[in-house]
Chain A
Amino acid sequence: MSRESGRHGDGRRTPVLQLDKVVKEYDGDPPLRILHGIDLTVHQGELVAVVGPSGSGKSTLLSLVGTLDRPTSGRVHLDGHDLTDLNDRQIAALRASSIGFVFQQFFLLPGLTTVDNVATGLLYTGESARRRHERAVRALREVGLAHRLDHRPDQLSGGEKQRVAIARALVGRPALLLADEPTGALDSASGQGVVDLLLHLNAQGTTVMVITHDRDLAASFPRQIGVQDGRVAFDLHGDTRTAAVPRSAQGGPG
């Protein structure tokens, strides 16, 4: 498989994520088709919101983008690798190094301190414990929680928990930060704080993809991809904040 990314000839940005006619079906009689041929490209440095009502297929899209699941047909490229060519072991290693997940329910490990929780973000990359700790401290400083290193999850507010989760996603410098309803479990003030943090991280170069059903939240991001009934309904580049996002090769209303 040739690296199709070469086609995007503007030279400034490379695609981090590329979905090519991705179809996902679940076994059943008849098989349940969730995604009907999704084409999607996200370039380095982009901040994208995938928005859609529940049942639209955005969670399935999340697990495909996050390499937690494989498409029934079509191809997914992540960070220059075609996942079709990789075995489960290699995909797990790629996931460990290239994707940072943020979840609605945070999923912090209850028995561990903040800094240890962030360090688990590097657990499967083969880094030494000391190095993991150092990088975890740095990541926590970056999300503004330098004063909370030794707290445990139950001593943190919801907003702080999500910041810890973001630090964990960030600590390995992933090619793509993938956030699933990151403000879903937060009040509006801490939710706004998390959005601001994501915008800030994006401004510093992190590629961020947020999946949400909240259109208002999606509106605060420069690019919005609407998913409806397993298809891309719209792809808006209504950007005001970051530098101009190049038109991607695949179509969509701009």
Chain B
Amino acid sequence: MTQHLPRPARLRLPDLLRIGLIGPRTRRLRSALSALGIALGIAAVVAITGISASSQAHLLDRLDRLGSNLISVSPGENYGGEKVPLPKEAVSMLGNIAPVEQVSATAETKANVYRSDFVPPNQTNSLRVLSARLDLLKTLRGELSSGRWLDKGTQRLPVVVLGDTAARRLGVTAPGTKVWLSGRSLPGGWYGVIGILRANELVPEIDDSVLVGAPQAVAELGGDRTPSTVYVRTHPDRVRDVQDVAAATANPARPSVVAVSRPSDLLKARSETDTALTGLVLSLAGVALLVGGVGIANTMVVGVMERRGEVGLCRALGARRGQITLQFLIEAVLLGLFGGLAGAALGVVAVYGYAGVKDWPATVPMAWVAAGPAVAVLVGTVAGLYPALRAARMSPTGALRSA
């Protein structure tokens, strides 16, 4: 007659999932919107890390093509802060170092460049007019976006080749245009544009330069005979060795006033700076994630109040408080998971889209794609904890009567 006490039963995982899905299934729009917050956070993280990784991949790609074996040697400063020019022989001396494969140089002139002779002399657009040796293009592995490079004939003529930035600032889009070159002690004259260079990440100082043949510069523009920068291409495995002796070779008398640098190092450092910026944006994405979590918590709190009847029913059917907690928690976790998955997908699409537009190699950060949904689940769990406990604390009779 006295029955055995029934054994408390556990909810199986499939049942738990089915119960957890009741809320999202019957309140689709609201659930979708609250998951959207999380999705945007995760998408931002994936997109930003992906885009920055793609940009870096693109940079390294370019670096590979431009070669990391370039060394630039330029005048350093003495103790008084004045530039000490390199000796005239620096170019040929550096060219004589055994592992050096190519060498070239630019030199300064006294001219500035203007779109026409009506432009006031102080509006220089921050552009420099440099004299260039004919082998400069090859040494820098520069590319022309249009027109021609200087040759033996044109280096003695009033013609210029524009760097990428210089062309844009002067508003020159095609060769054949004329620009006005003049300086304080120079008469000034029209120079024809014969070529425009493509941007060169390795030597950005060439981008905002206007290049004139060395003989023409010396004859007409007050060009220096001493080089302002010597570019040295070395054997790829001997870059360090050349770097070590470059200063003493360029200016044996005063090696301490020679500045030697490896532009690819600068480039790498710059890409690292980008990473620091990425960190900032990532923390913003973290805030977005937090807001998404608050959104889920908000939806759940309201949902729990609305679903008092359901809570009461489950208690009447024999659910324990812990099981009610679990039911609501699993709902929050599922919302987080859906948001995370959708966000990761969205982020990947954004990376491919952006990289496609920029013509970069798309690099998807797999670690973040995997971690995104995991983080989202974590956020969902934390967000769902309070509403779930609140649902469990509800008195079943109150829940049934007020619903």
Residues in B neighbouring A105, C-beta threshold 8 A: 309, 403
Find out whether the CB atom of B8 lies under 8 angstroms from the CB atom of A89. Answer: yes
CB closest chain-B residue, reference A124? B318
A3 touching B317 in the complex, CB below 8 Å, given contacts A69-B395, A93-B9, A124-B323: no
Find out whether the CB atom of B1 lies under 8 angstroms from the CB atom of A68. Answer: no
Q: Is A228 an interface residue (CB 8 A)?
A: no
CB closest chain-A residue, reference B321? A88
Residues in B neighbouring A80, C-beta threshold 8 A: 1-3
Q: Is B186 an interface residue (CB 8 A)?
A: no
A96 touching B318 in the complex, CB below 8 Å, given contacts A5-B1, A109-B310, A125-B6: yes
Residues in B neighbouring A109, C-beta threshold 8 A: 22, 26, 310, 313
Number of A-B contacts (CB under 8 A): 113
CA distance in complex: A52, B365 (Å):
68
A93 touching B7 in the complex, CB below 8 Å, given contacts A5-B1, A111-B26: yes
Please name 6 further chain A to chain B contacts, defined as beta carbons within 8 Å, in addition to the given A68-B397, A95-B318, A109-B313, sorted by A numbering: A80-B3, A93-B9, A107-B309, A107-B312, A111-B25, A123-B19
CA distance in complex: A17, B125 (Å):
97
Find out whether the CB atom of A68 lies under 8 angstroms from the CB atom of B315. Answer: yes
Q: How far is the CB of A127 from chain B (nearest CB, A)?
A: 8
- Which of A3, A97, A175 is most buried by chain B, counting CB atoms within 10 A of its CB? A97
Residues in B neighbouring A249, C-beta threshold 8 A: none
Residues in B neighbouring A244, C-beta threshold 8 A: none
A94 touching B6 in the complex, CB below 8 Å, given contacts A89-B320, A107-B312: yes
Q: Is A233 an interface residue (CB 8 A)?
A: no
SS class, residues of chain B in contact with chain A: helix
Residues in A neighbouring B395, C-beta threshold 8 A: 68-69
CA distance in complex: A184, B288 (Å):
48
Please report the total number of A residues contacting B with Cβ < 8 Å. Answer: 42
Residue positions of A touching B, CB distance < 8 A: 3, 5, 14, 59-60, 62-63, 66, 68-69, 79-81, 86, 88-90, 92-99, 101, 103, 105, 107, 109-112, 120-121, 123-126, 129, 168, 175
Find out whether the CB atom of A93 lies under 8 angstroms from the CB atom of B22. Answer: no
Q: Is B98 an interface residue (CB 8 A)?
A: no
Residues in B neighbouring A66, C-beta threshold 8 A: 316
Q: Is B319 an interface residue (CB 8 A)?
A: yes
Partner-contacting stretch, out of B10-18, B109-117, B130-138, B371-379: B10-18
Set B3, B319, B401: member contacting A92, Cβ < 8 A = B319
Q: Is B75 an interface residue (CB 8 A)?
A: no
Find out whether the CB atom of B320 lies under 8 angstroms from the CB atom of A92. Answer: yes
CA distance in complex: A107, B320 (Å):
18
